[in-house]
A and B are shown apart, each in its own frame.
Chain A
Amino acid sequence: SQQGEEDPQALSIQEGENATMNCSYKTSINNLQWYRQNSGRGLVHLILIRSNEREKHSGRLRVTLDTSKKSSSLLITASRAADTASYFCATDRMNTGFQKLVFGTGTRLLVSP
């Protein structure tokens, strides 16, 4: 069952512009993670934000979390062609012991030179 849903499904921007992707989820979580996947390759972890945090930064990445709305956003500033990839949010379900991470279907980002 899908827990996270990303929006938009696809995003096309020019280099230098900012890219914003959103994730909505359904049940209470311990934390929310964002991953990047280059075409057909393994996922790479970008950032983890805990349920008691509201905002987190890592380089050009900024993630926000609103637990009251059950939503998160990933902002990539000053995008580069190398940022072209699919981006996934992943949520775990509280009180299920092991991290049963559930991934959304992803946002495909295309950054044109």
Chain B
Amino acid sequence: EAQVTQNPRYLITVTGKKLTVTCSQNMNHEYMSWYRQDPGLGLRQIYYSMNVEVTDKGDVPEGYKVSRKEKRNFPLILESPSPNQTSLYFCASSPGPYNEQFFGPGTRLTVL
């Protein structure tokens, strides 16, 4: 089944404790993105990647890192999480520019 998977689905952590949210897709898509969703603000793009080893900042990249060492994986790293990073995070992949995006199920992160 074609899908985007994210892990973990739920995470409660404390300020400053490094964490990684994994994202994997099995559709051989070149393009992948991370978004965060907050009430009243919609989805905002954090980072995106056009291919292996090619990443760039979205609209809200502060406090996040990403890497794209393999085509299928695009982990999101929070080196020192803070409470304002409490949010619902989505990973998405796409076969090409200006195509539909396929979203993962989301990761609900709470930073205390």
Contacts and interface: CB of A to CB of B under 8 A. Distances in A.
Interface string A5-46: 000000000000000000000000011010100001111110
Given A43-B103, A101-B33, A106 B42 contact: yes
Interface residues of B, number: 30
B105 A42 contact: yes
Given A103-B42, A105-B41, A45 B58 contact: no
Given A1-B59, A104-B42, A106-B42, A42 B94 contact: no
Interface residues of A, number: 26
B45 interface: yes
B59 A99 contact: no
A88 B3 CA distance: 21
Contacts of B108: 40
B42 A101 contact: no
Contacts of B90: 42-43
Contacts of B4: 42
Contacts of A35: 103
A102 interface: yes
A2 B97 contact: no
Question: Most chain-B Cβ atoms within 10 A of its Cβ — which of A31, A100, A101?
Answer: A101
Interface of B: 4, 31, 33, 35, 40-45, 48, 50, 56, 58-59, 88, 90, 92, 94, 97-106, 108
